[in-house]
Amino acid sequence: MQDCIFCKIGRGEIPSAIVYEDDRIIAFKDINPLAPVHLLLIPREHLTNILDINEGNVDLIGHIHLVANKLAKEAGIAEKGFRIVTNCNEEGGQIIFHMHYHLIGGEELKNFA
């Protein structure tokens, strides 16, 4: 999508604090962090949310989780704990309609479930 902010970040049109990228995903620091470590992991392919996952791209989710594990270890939050969150649609809290995962940690996180 031409006007999607995350697609623009993925194409390098909008600067961001990139911490990881490959041909399938990009990870960068959230501009409004909720914790000391708050990264966003997005697929380069535009998927609106997890409802767009199908048999053709299901391996992408595993890849995102492997990269999240790597980044959590590099950020020093793996041992104490972290959270991976994705929101789906408006009532699920989704604001940007490009599937993305939040990797959050670096302090004790409050339970919400």
- Give catalytic residue positions: 100
Backbone angles phi, psi at 67, to 5 degrees: -65, -40
Task: State the burial class of residue 15 (Cβ atoms within 10 Å of its Cβ: 0-12, 13-18, 19+).
Answer: exposed
Strand segments, DSSP code E, in the chain are 18-21, 25-29, 37-43, 82-85, 101-105
Q: Are 57 and 49 in contact (CB under 8 A)?
A: no
Q: DSSP character for 34?
A: S
